[in-house]
A and B are shown apart, each in its own frame.
Chain A
Amino acid sequence: MSLDKATVAKIAHLARIKVPDGELESLAGELSQILTFVEQLNEVDTTDVPPMTSVAAQKLRRRVDAVTDGGYTPQVLSNGPETAEGFYVVPKVVE
């Protein structure tokens, strides 16, 4: 599989990573190399093989749906780059 610049730009946008135009070409080459490498999986017969969802032989535990802890607003916000009055602040979303 070979990716072109436009596809890489689209993936980068989906991943919300700004990639300078000048780097798209080399990145396309590197990603194509990786995707070519993984294509060997097509040699494996996986008819009727279930895709692995959990490597541990156990079901996910469920917890009680109840409030057991909380009240940590200052701690939760303590690492925010910009906060005000108990909230995170982000650039204006709605005009």
Chain B
Amino acid sequence: MTALTNLTMASALDGLAKKEFTAVELAEAHVRAVESARPFNIFITETPDAALSMAKASDERRAKGEAGPMDGLPIAVKDLFCTKGIATTAGSKILDGFMPEYESTVTSQLWRDGAVLLGKVNLDEFAMGSATITAHQGETVSPWSPGQPGQWDRKIVAGGSSGGSAAAVAARVALGATGTDTGGSIRQPAGYTGTVGIKPTYGRCSRWGIVAYASSLDQAGPMTRTVEDAAIMLRSMCGFDPKDSTSVDLPVPDFRAALTGDIRGLRIGIPKEYRVEGLSAEIDALWTQGIEWLKDAGAVPVEISLPHTKYALAAYYIIAPAEASSNLARYDGVRYGLRVEGGSLAEMYENTRGAGFGKEVQRRILVGTYVLSAGYYDAYYNKARQVRTRIKWDFDEAFKSCDVILTPTAPSTPFAIGEKMDDPVQMYLNDVFTVPINLAGLPGLSVPAGQGADGLPLGLQLIGRPFDEETLLRVGQVVEKAANVTALPPFMA
């Protein structure tokens, strides 16, 4: 029998239904996996007791014939989702000691459907980053790093900001994990760790109870080892929530039923502007291979144009910091988290925020404050929002001649911790292929598709029409099957 930690969600559900093992056995195996993966610094808070009691309750439900669609499946939760009575830090010192009194809508739906919590996982502070290296609790190391745990030559990044989620899934510590994606924070770490990650359409998943970064861009989504598992988990995470004013009141499809494998006649858009400078030859080759796989399955590639692609990062690095500077104004040392005393109220605010926020978060708040300040609002913020409109129009136009778009997920294989760190702009370029999708509010999926010459994973990204996650997942599974990636990370718990 396959190790319990190496199962997919689909096969674990089968095994539970056939009584081959219990949810408690599954949870125990995963709790041991969490412990064995500690050198990778994946978890900020481990919750073994919660895992075992939730698993016990799951077995009881199943015995009564009341098992939910994810009943008994152990998952990790990005430490950006508020979990009632379990510390939630957003990777920041400023949320030191914060214990939510409420549960985020997305996690409450996962528990409603029977999922089991293993713990809260690492991220870039306030989800601002592409490598999971900026959290107050330290950096996460990818299970793809060559060598023995703790004795790595190069510590490979897991991507970010949902790097703890990606590492947990790749290292066989969790069957799946929640992520959030503001500019690529689900898809890029999925690509970097050989896992599957989907950012649904803006409005699909409730943002209520998720620590806000940039509200017009943030979306939650699942990270898993297969496209089928992503379909299972996405269904539980989605759904209308009156508590989020941007939540969309649409029925949630059975995404798994959409995985028919039949993509005959579908038009696959290939945006010529994504052949950017600095795109590595191996990624270009993989992209071409991806087009061939889809052609072999009966789809029709069509060249499309997204002329404003090159401006997406610049627009993002105005809009996201602007929204962040406003969202993060709430951390003031009064209502929760860290307080550093000062002689006056203003001094207390400044001391608290100076000590509580890390460097990258401070940089983004300052950029946001600047672009929203009197005299610069039109030149920066409004200009960026106008460019955002043009980027959205580009996609509207492109989807007149195609049904789904295929691109690489990231411009290179993952780098090592310590590389690319000096220049913030250089770091931002990791997100060049993922950011436009957030600006346009579209669904995006990253599927593992191969390895680079360095043996590290490479992903392909699919972009869909608004609320057409079904087509996205269907095409994604065709890519997954054609790529048939068999390489495994050097470390598996």
Instruction: List the interface of chain A (C-beta within 8 A of B).
Output: 3, 8, 11-19, 27, 30-31, 33-35, 37-44, 46, 49-58, 60-61, 63, 72, 75-76, 78-82, 88, 90-93
Contacts and interface: CB of A to CB of B under 8 A. Distances in A.
Contact of B387 (A14, A31, A46): A46
Interface residues of B, number: 71
Contact of B348 (A14, A40, A91): A91
B119 to A, nearest CB: 20
A11 to B, nearest CB: 5
Interface string B356-381: 01000011011101100100000010
Nearest to B317: A38
A55 B315 CA distance: 14
Interface stretch (B19-27, B44-52, B226-234, B331-339): B331-339
Nearest to A56: B203
A76 B100 CA distance: 10
16 contacts: A8-B366, A13-B350, A15-B366, A16-B353, A33-B423, A38-B380, A41-B383, A44-B308, A44-B311, A50-B389, A52-B385, A58-B248, A79-B335, A81-B338, A88-B334, A90-B334
A90 B386 contact: no
Given A75-B101, A79-B98, A17 B362 contact: yes
Most buried by B among A8, A80, A81, A92: A81
Contacts of A78: 99, 101
Contacts of A81: 333-334, 336-339
A23 to B, nearest CB: 9
Contacts of B383: 41-42, 44, 46
A38 B390 contact: no
Interface in B311-368: 311, 313-315, 317-318, 325, 329, 332-339, 341-351, 353-355, 357, 362-363, 365-367
Interface of B: 97-99, 101, 202-203, 216, 242, 245-246, 248, 308, 310-311, 313-315, 317-318, 325, 329, 332-339, 341-351, 353-355, 357, 362-363, 365-367, 369-370, 373, 380, 382-390, 392, 423-425, 428, 439-441, 466
Contact of B369 (A15, A79, A80, A88): A15
A17 B350 contact: yes
A13 B349 CA distance: 10
A30 to B, nearest CB: 6
B163 to A, nearest CB: 22
B374 to A, nearest CB: 10
A18 B349 CA distance: 9
A34 B351 contact: no
A79 B365 contact: no
Query: Which 10 residue pairs across A and B have the least CB separation, nearest first?
Result: A18-B354, A55-B441, A51-B385, A79-B336, A46-B386, A81-B339, A18-B350, A75-B101, A16-B349, A38-B314
Given A52-B389, A80-B335, 18 more contacts: A3-B370, A8-B366, A16-B329, A18-B351, A34-B363, A34-B425, A35-B367, A37-B317, A44-B308, A46-B389, A51-B382, A52-B388, A56-B466, A60-B246, A63-B242, A72-B101, A81-B337, A91-B342
B332 A55 contact: no
B349 A51 contact: no
A12 B366 contact: yes
B78 to A, nearest CB: 20
Contact of A90 (B101, B348, B380): B348
Contacts of B342: 91
A70 B343 CA distance: 34
A41 B381 CA distance: 11
Given A80-B334, A91-B344, A41 B365 contact: no
Nearest to A60: B245
Contacts of A91: 341-345, 347-348
B353 A79 contact: no
Contacts of B314: 37-41
A92 B335 CA distance: 16
B466 to A, nearest CB: 7
A64 B298 CA distance: 51
A42 B355 CA distance: 36
A55 B216 contact: yes
A90 B380 CA distance: 35
